[in-house]
Chain A
Amino acid sequence: MTDFKCISNRTHVKSNSGSVIFIGVDLFADQSTILQSRHLNICLAIDCSGSMQGEKIERAKESAIILARSLSPNDLISIVTFEYKVKVLLAPTLASEQDKIENVISSIQVGSATSLYGGLQKANDLASKNAKSGRITRIVLMTDGIPTDKENPKDYEKLCAEIRKDGITVNPIGIGDNYNDELLLRISDSGGGEWMHVTDPHSQLPNFLREQVTMMLNTIAINPELKLEFIPGAEIIDFYTVKPILTKMELPQRKGNQYVLNLRDLVIGQEQTIVFRIKLPHQPSGTYNLLNASAIDKNVDMSITYTEDSTLYNSEPNPDPRILLFATEGTVLMRKGMDGDTIALQKAETILKAVPTDPDATIALNPATQATVMNLKNIHDATVMKPNLSEAEKKDLMHDTTIIRRKENK
């Protein structure tokens, strides 16, 4: 069953006055959701630069074989390698051709340089051929270094947004300490995927790749849309996704009073939480339709009352969405603060003072909000405590700013 919920922090605002409210949106498909069986189409883009030599490339190969073996005979797999040159090692091939696939993977060798952009482009060429045939399609990018062909993250965002339009998800896996985490984060945000940080290729890489297949199999909606129609004059000031990935989103195009947002693929068992800060228009006293929200096949209506009664407009029946938005904003600011942006760090500290961090005060909050607040506090404390973080520690913490906590198994 899919569950779609919208909650606002306030139900009453002051008449003829400007107010800002917060709305949290939660979308979840539980284990009982009926799954249509669909074939998969996966493209591996593997970094074969010199730095991958040894353990990393061996584990990448081994994991690719594990992944290929976990596919069903009618699934498709293709492989691109990139170093100085970008090569199509395996054009889209049915997983039933196991021997051929494994031979190709075993033949992978390292070269020099890292043509990441070229690799991603080529992977898209291969993946998009079969993306529209109803297959669940994903590009899994494995890299350990800084690109040598294109460095500007904007180029990657543009490419990934194009890829995403075809319903393809891009999942970047960063190995070790020397890759550009900021870049992989932007690739995953624009490509609808999740940045994975591998510190120990031996234990983590095979699991991460296996997880990709499981997630693809559990996908119930590709590129789902969230439509929000507000009371005329209302606008979204800013909004964040909190789960599965914590990130600040670009404001969507607005048509009249309607906003249409593209969500990440809906996967069974994976909660999607989004939180909005909304500026409301001035209105005389009365009750109005605040919002009509729809996603997948669900619809939610919310109303808001404008009143002169200060007891009502000063009350906050549910502080959760407000605290969640601030904690999320603070976490995004910490990400910048960790990179040396002292103004962002100060802003994060101001927010941290304004949200309740004391366990007694957070007890009434939803566990996800509580976890977001505590995560922010921990990241802040760890950053301030060790001003000279090593690259490995920084990546670890940076990764903590993107994932709150996996959904407890239900």
Chain B
Amino acid sequence: MLNCPICSFSENPDDSVYCTECGGKIAEESQPEPQVVAPPPPAQPEPQVVAPPPPAQPEPQVVAPPPPADLQNPGGILVLPDNSNIQVETAPKTIGRMELINYLKTLQGVDPMTISRQHFTISQENNTYYVEDGNTVVQDKASSNRTFLNGVDITDKGQQELKNDDVIDLANTVKLTFRL
């Protein structure tokens, strides 16, 4: 008999993969399922028409163990000061407190509320990425404590084009580096 890790039901037959009580998976879920064939070695990311320089080699990451999430899905990323990163999706997406929460937790003496829930919006059109802090299709209003792009305040100033290595500063508290 197998125990369900979710609902603790203990009478699942030995060959069960799914709990007969709650339907949960009895086998470890956190193991990535081999649904996708192992990606080929990350030889060359797709040819990028616009950005000429090869993507800057990320600094050797001694600490962070997981492989960067962008291997299968080349595109822009926002790199946090602790070298963790946020992948930029094709659809407009807001970045704010929740996206940065793991990093914010590690900062001493910083109130996470300094960062708005929706601090800025990042979007992509025709291979060009943009940042905007204001009312966008996915963001209700500008952040409370402003956003700076390479030191310039862009709050409520509309879309700004992003280039490799641009620095987005949230509320003078967190600096994110944009990488293509």
Q: Residues on A close to B: CB < 8 A?
A: 9-10, 17-22, 200, 203-204, 207, 277, 310, 314, 316, 319, 322, 325-326, 350-351, 353-361, 363-364, 367, 375, 378-379, 381-382, 385-386, 393, 396, 400, 405-406, 408-409
> Would you call B33 and A408 a contact (CB within 8 A)?
no
B98 within 8 Å of A (CB atoms): yes
Choose from B5, B31, B137 the contact partner of A350 (Cβ within 8 Å).
B5
| Cα of A400 to Cα of B29 in the assembled complex, Å | 25
CB distance from B33 to the nearest CB of A (A): 7
CB distance from B80 to the nearest CB of A (A): 14
Choose from A10, A20, A314, A367 the contact partner of B19 (Cβ within 8 Å).
A20
| Cα of A204 to Cα of B144 in the assembled complex, Å | 13
Q: Name B16's closest neighbour in chain A (CB-CB).
A: A314
List B63-78 residues whose CB lies under 8 Å from chain A.
66-67, 69, 72-73
> Would you call B18 and A204 a contact (CB within 8 A)?
no
> Would you call A20 and B23 a contact (CB within 8 A)?
yes
Q: List 24 A-B contacts (CB under 8 A).
A: A18-B20, A20-B20, A204-B140, A204-B141, A314-B18, A316-B17, A319-B33, A322-B24, A325-B23, A350-B6, A354-B25, A358-B30, A358-B66, A360-B32, A360-B66, A360-B69, A364-B35, A367-B89, A381-B102, A382-B101, A382-B112, A385-B112, A393-B113, A408-B137
| Cα of A353 to Cα of B17 in the assembled complex, Å | 17
List B83-119 residues whose CB lies under 8 Å from chain A.
87, 89, 91-92, 97-99, 101-102, 105, 112-113, 117
Q: Mark B1-24, 1 if CB is under 8 A from A, else 0.
A: 000011000000101011111111
List B11-65 residues whose CB lies under 8 Å from chain A.
13, 15, 17-25, 29-33, 35-36
Q: Name A277's closest neighbour in chain B (CB-CB).
A: B23
> Would you call A22 and B23 a contact (CB within 8 A)?
yes
Residues of A within 8 A of B25 (CB): 316, 319, 322, 354
CB distance from A226 to the nearest CB of B (A): 21
**Considering only CB atoms and an 8 Å cut-off, how many residues of chain B contact the other chain?**
42
> Would you call B29 and A203 a contact (CB within 8 A)?
no
CB distance from A334 to the nearest CB of B (A): 13
| Cα of A319 to Cα of B31 in the assembled complex, Å | 13
| Cα of A360 to Cα of B34 in the assembled complex, Å | 11
> Would you call A314 and B17 a contact (CB within 8 A)?
yes
| Cα of A385 to Cα of B113 in the assembled complex, Å | 12
Choose from B20, B97, B102, B112 the contact partner of A17 (Cβ within 8 Å).
B20
> Would you call A364 and B33 a contact (CB within 8 A)?
yes
> Would you call B92 and A19 a contact (CB within 8 A)?
no
CB distance from A235 to the nearest CB of B (A): 13
List B103-139 residues whose CB lies under 8 Å from chain A.
105, 112-113, 117, 137-138
CB distance from A231 to the nearest CB of B (A): 16
> Would you call A359 and B87 a contact (CB within 8 A)?
yes
> Would you call B138 and A10 a contact (CB within 8 A)?
no
| Cα of A13 to Cα of B23 in the assembled complex, Å | 11
> Would you call A19 and B20 a contact (CB within 8 A)?
yes
> Would you call A363 and B36 a contact (CB within 8 A)?
yes
Choose from A204, A322, A382, A386 the contact partner of B98 (Cβ within 8 Å).
A382
Q: Name B105's closest neighbour in chain A (CB-CB).
A: A385
| Cα of A275 to Cα of B143 in the assembled complex, Å | 34
Residues of A within 8 A of B102 (CB): 381
> Would you call B87 and A351 a contact (CB within 8 A)?
no
> Would you call A408 and B91 a contact (CB within 8 A)?
yes
CB distance from B58 to the nearest CB of A (A): 16
> Would you call A322 and B23 a contact (CB within 8 A)?
yes
Residues of A within 8 A of B97 (CB): 382
| Cα of A314 to Cα of B98 in the assembled complex, Å | 36
Give 16 new A-B contacts, CB below 8 A, not counting A20-B18, A314-B15, A358-B30. Answer: A9-B23, A18-B20, A20-B23, A203-B141, A314-B17, A322-B24, A325-B23, A354-B25, A354-B29, A358-B32, A381-B105, A382-B112, A385-B101, A396-B117, A408-B91, A409-B92
CB distance from B134 to the nearest CB of A (A): 11
> Would you call B87 and A406 a contact (CB within 8 A)?
no
CB distance from B59 to the nearest CB of A (A): 20
Residues of A within 8 A of B29 (CB): 354-356, 361
What are the 4 tightest A-B residue pairs by CB atom distance, in nearest-first order?
A20-B23, A378-B98, A359-B69, A314-B17
> Would you call A19 and B24 a contact (CB within 8 A)?
no
> Would you call B72 and A363 a contact (CB within 8 A)?
yes
| Cα of A17 to Cα of B21 in the assembled complex, Å | 12
> Would you call B24 and A354 a contact (CB within 8 A)?
yes
Given contacts A359-B87, A363-B73, contact A207 B20 (CB under 8 A): no
| Cα of A310 to Cα of B18 in the assembled complex, Å | 12
| Cα of A200 to Cα of B143 in the assembled complex, Å | 12
Residues of B within 8 A of A379 (CB): 98
Residues of A within 8 A of B33 (CB): 319, 361, 364
